[in-house]
Amino acid sequence: MSKKITIAIDGYSSTGKSTVAKQLAAELGYVYVDTGAMYRAVTLYLMRKMLVSDTHFDEEAILRHLPFINISFVFNEEVGYGEVHLNNENVEKEIRLMEVSQQVSKVAAVPDVRKMLVKIQQEIGKNKAVVMDGRDIGTVVFPDADLKLFMTASTEKRAERRYDELKGRGDEVKYEDVLANVKERDYLDTTREDSPLVKAEDAIEIDNSDMNLEEQFEKVLKLAKDKIEE
């Protein structure tokens, strides 16, 4: 019986972290956790409560609401992975909206939000056999992860992918707005005081600017199998 490992996948927004993490977890029979979806779900809750918007950010009220936010993953056989639920409501589609993308980095910078979600993430992954992707998995959530990957790609390529994804889903968006959002999220993610996005010293960097999904998956799968067989 092969050993079980913890796989941490970090990186910039729209680098395909979630896609390759889902593929990898399915191939290995591991649990997949999209931590970005957790932050998006919290953001959606706060937006619904009118506590977060382009012109309003009430951190004191946010802290008061955190005890009422329950984030869970419910496995969906049709898609093959756990979809994020907010207080027992499937919000997998709502959290991907551009409006949520524009606010999530601000919410993710709140220390108490990070503390709450990191605790949940560590509990989920305590028994290993997990693939978790996000911004601080290899540095904060699982600093002792067996395999750490850091995904990156050019800003323009990431904006193009995100734009295609949103348009393919029927959202009315402009490429210029998506590009601006990607740049803003990069700035907020890398400059926040609490757990900024950085590449862990022992992480393997993968620039997928010129890779297709199949090439990316093959590379990541080989790295995972090599680590399992060590």
Strand residues in 6-77 grouped as ranges (E): 6-11, 31-34, 71-76
Structure-token pair, residue 23: 């593929």
Predicted structure pTM score: 0.89
Please tell me whether 53 is known to bind a ligand.
no
Please tell me whether 72 is known to bind a ligand.
no
- How far is 134 from 213, CA to CA, in rounded Å? 18
**Residue boundaries of the structural domains of the chain:** 6-224
Q: What is the pLDDT of residues 63-114, one digit of tens each?
A: 999 999 999 988 888 888 889 999 999 999 999 999 999 999 999 999 999 9
Please provide the CATH number assigned to the domain covering 6-224: 3.40.50.300
Beta bridge partners, 207, equal 152
Q: What is the pLDDT of residues 19-64, one digit of tens each?
A: 999 999 999 999 999 999 999 999 999 999 999 999 999 999 999 9
Please tell me whether 139 is known to bind a ligand.
no
Which SS3 state, helix, strand or coil, does residue 189 take?
helix
Please tell me whether 16 is known to bind a ligand.
yes
- How far is 74 from 70, CA to CA, in rounded Å? 13
Please tell me whether 155 is known to bind a ligand.
no
